[in-house]
Structure 1
Amino acid sequence: MNQKQLEQMKSKKGFIAALDQSGGSSPKALKAYGIDQDQYNNDEEMFDLMHQMRTRMIKSPSFSGDEILGAILFQNTMDRKIDGKYTPDFLWEEKGIIPFLKVDKGLEPEKEGVQLMKPITDLTQTLEQAQKRNIFGTKMRSVIHAANPEGIKKIVDQQFEYGRQIADAGFVPILEPEVDITIPDKKEAEAILKDEIEKHLKDLPENELIMLKLSIPTVPGLYSEIMKDPHVVRVVALSGGYTREEANKKLAENPGLIASFSRALAEGLNANQTEEEFNKTMKHSVDAIFEASIK
């Protein structure tokens, strides 16, 4: 583990950029960017366009370690290059931004009010490749759709089980048990989730480190005690479908919680913008999310 990166992630002000759209979410991300599905013929062309979009974002002047602590990448992006360097190395060496890798394989069908992760059958090989690419940490997502105690326990159990394997391999895992922001019992689901997370934190080995990526809670400050746990490097928040303005407002009500936005970060960007227009939009987005993350 890179100790300089660990100290930066623990104590520096900023947020995490989520650039980890996978095959399933890429068409939607490209459409929002102004590229419709009739503009590419297959997955290879789609991923080429996604890498062009991500490269443009990463090379934008405001996308720097001054305000962005880390960036989460899709495996396809990890193995591609920007200006002759693998993307993780470009992020760290040229921008001062810590690289993370999305490792989950998507979601199972909903059961007991939750969607568990599909089995990560190639985790060992993925982590070996991540080691070669100088990745600092990983991220994996599951989703809670109801305040079902049994389902939420299974979600948290699974997240921590994989997290243990990832930590043992020398990475800092980001556990992401997302609570759907549209459900009527979101507040209740978050209370159950908090209790389950705290149970697992008590059982972690002394030196094991994790991060958590959670929906912005209905009750401001809900996760404040979790942030103080010595095992927790950082607690970050997903935008979850809120507009950037809504997400930033809610985030600012939770001191210590920092952003890890994807769609909200790219909001307003378009493939047809001039470099000046693109960079201006990017700067506005980065500055606004940074300000909400340091409240």
Structure 2
Amino acid sequence: MRTKLWWAVVLVACACGGAVKTGDDVPLKQEGLSLAASPRGSRGSFAHQGEKVTFSSRQVEPGVFRLEVRLRGLTLTGLMEPASGVSTLDGFAEANGADAQMGAADRALLTALYRELNAALPAGDAAAPEAMYLRRAVSVWSQYPDTVALRRAVMGEKGRGYTMLCSYARCNGRNTGSCGGVYNWYAHAAHDCDRGGFDWPGNQQLAQLGDHYSCNGDEFFLAGGTWLCGSPDHWHRPKVVGNCFGRCGSDCGGDTQYTVDATHHDSCVRNGHILVSGWCNDQFVAAVDDELFAPNCY
């Protein structure tokens, strides 16, 4: 059932002030997020550290959503049909329509936008579909590696395109919060890279998925009976937990999708590699359909 939720939010720095706007009246603030919705869809703008993003998401026919995000001379588009698990994504230079690649400054600005959308929108399925799919697409683009083509057809179907791991995101009977020492380990978090394949123990982790702990590093990992915050660099099958391991998305955001491909991607970027490492590109590409189409676990 479609959620009918029309909202209007303006989040700005304290010095900006201003009244909440609705409908199509969404002026750009000096700093922060301006977000509005109408029966035609959702649109808004975001200003951050002197940079500007404009975005829109609308339902162009029943169950089909058209997305557009513009920033730093780059236009990102998406056409999503969730019921059939089909989407096309693209990105090109606004000036001449030429193919473009995502850069570090683009990812940083999109990450800031994603965090603001998470704060402004209702969590999970409570958000209007136009807003939820906008949030998911922005999250995908905020993680996009430099060396992966922005033009992409995405096919997602449960059991074929993505496999859910909702039960492994729970511990001690809880979806969130402390595990109380009672863990539910997923034994197949793995990746392949220059060190070896999925079957090499240094590319494997025993992971407690879910939103249970957080730290300033990639995760908590067990070292000699002590939990440390950081990233074990290709240790042999270490136990890891924290920072929403296995969740689709760039951090603990508005959706709660835990899948096999997202877990493998985390196992790569949190195990001796970085977000844009070429060795993790295959895991990233495999997880795109999960983030766009997989249902929320809770």
TM-score by length of 1: 0.27
Q: Please say which structure displays the higher CA radius of gyration.
A: 2
Q: Which structure features the higher share of helix residues?
A: 1
TM-score by length of 2: 0.27
Q: Which structure features the higher share of strand residues?
A: 2
